[in-house]
Structure 1
């Protein structure tokens, strides 16, 4: 842990490269993010043995692992509102929390108690009225309450204000509905939860791309719920480099091996996906009619 802290402080103290934004809408682009160099190579081109790596001193280890960040991110805000999907926010937070010493802020639609869709209660010390600037804003999704948020002009105006100066504006799952309603996805490539994804994004002038996550300029969007973890790792990869992104991945032991194939309509029995579509349609119907 001491080594990790020293490495990260060094990263942030040293001068950073100019901020660069890229569009990631293909597997090839995704692979280009961050450094893909072989770190286990000596200056003479030979490889370090396990014994040499284990005996390596602190300074030498840091020199091998160090990658100059492409950007400086000082503040990351997570927008919470009643009914948000817990993992939409907590998945990315688990990844981005390791971007030390970046400040992570939970921001409520209002200050105080926020209850997620899973009935988990969060106490939030900041409301949208308290925060005027963030380097990164993360907008999680939900269901009914997310749709209602797309009609909340005060919230949308705050998102636009933050976006005016943010380096990254990010959504998870149906959080893209909120980002789209704020007018941020017009003419952009994006993704969202699979439920009527193309139709929902088209309402906001966005082009749906069926991928786990999509990067178009400063805007990053992910597919449903768990995809927010993939997107967050890609963000770390781009900002702090592949070394540190791999460190976080290993620390989380993020090596998904589900017990059966599923998780996407194309991999799920049509009986199941049709039932879910009907459930979502019926759930939204009363609000659409209003």
Structure 2
């Protein structure tokens, strides 16, 4: 199984590192993908949103056919939605993928690649209205959403929840449980401040009050 995670300049670090941790932990403890690849347009280092520099495993030219592809978000998505080379890579790989996934504003890359129209999806709370404005996406204010093999999640940390749910869907809840346990991913229920009452707080956060 080939699982690819796309990166690009100004990608949000946790958008892809969180899912990467769950993905590679799956390989380690529960017979997950044999080939986990970080993919970028070119082979050189990619500078992320908060300054982290990452060396991709493969470029678009070297990337094998993928079974699954995850698109993270970040400020860089605002540029990449106009990058036809990247969009062509995503749409071409998606034709043979069993599922495609996005985190945060990665949803806008999926849409620009023609993969989100007519589907239910979510994104970072700060971009929910922008996603609605596209006019052909049913926006759901949830941590993650799946619709006909297209997965999307809310922002940044939500990519971890997305990946665990994805693992459960393809490998079973025991596999996902092994990954969750090995990663010790049991988020605290503590809420800091009162941001669940913020005017832009997504519905899933308001309902937890």
TM-score higher than 0.5 here? yes
TM norm structure 1: 0.64
- What does 1:1-12 correspond to in 2, within 5 Å? none
Hey, what does 2:62 align to over in structure 1? 130
- Alpha carbons of 1:201 and 1:181: their partners in 2 closer, same or farther (altered >3 Å)? farther
| Cα pair distance change 1:176/1:101, threshold 3 Å | closer
Alignment partners' CA distance in 2, 1:237 and 1:133: 23
2:49 equivalent among 96, 117, 142 = 117
> What TM-score do you get using the length of structure 2 for normalisation?
0.87
Q: Answer 1 or 2: which has greater helix percent.
A: 1
Equivalent in the alignment of 2:205: none
- Structure 2: segments with no counterpart, 5+ residues: 202-209
**Matching of residue 96 in structure 1 with residue 23 in structure 2:** yes
CA contact (8 A) 1:177 1:201 kept: no
Aligned with 2:42: secondary structure? Answer: coil
Change (3 A) 1:87 1:259: same
- Counterpart CA distance in 1 for 2:90 and 2:135 is 15
Q: Shift of the alpha carbon at 1:268?
A: 4.7
Query: What is the aligned partner in structure 1 of residue 77 from structure 2?
Result: 146
SS in 1 for 2:151: strand
Q: Distance in 2 between matches of 1:131 and 1:150?
A: 20
Checking the alignment, whether the CA contact within 8 Å between 1:85 and 1:142 is kept in structure 2 is yes
Aligned counterpart in structure 1 of residue 110 of structure 2, from 179, 182, 195: 179
Aligned length: 196
CA displacement at 1:202 relative to structure 2? 3.8
Judge which range, 238-247 or 96-105, deviates more.
96-105
Residues 143-182 of structure 1: per-residue CA shift (max 9 Å, x gap): 1x21000011111111110011000100000000111111
Comparing 118-127 with 195-204, greater Cα deviation is found at 195-204
| 1:142 to 1:101, Cα distance in 2 relative to 1, 3 A | closer
Using the TM superposition, give the Cα deviation of residue 196 of structure 1 relative to its aligned residue in structure 2, in angstroms.
3.4
Give the structure with higher Rg (CA): 1
CA distance in 2, matches of 1:132, 1:262: 46
Q: CA deviation at 1:126?
A: 1.3
8 Å CA contact 1:132–1:162 kept in 2: the answer is no
C-alpha separation between the residues in 2 aligned to 1:235 and 1:191?
Answer: 15
On the 8 A contact 2:80/2:109 being kept in 1, the answer is yes
1:210 to 130, 136, 141: 141
Residue of structure 2 in register with 1:75 after alignment: 2
* SS of aligned partner of 2:55: strand
Give the alignment of 1:161-172 within 5 angstroms: 161-172=92-103
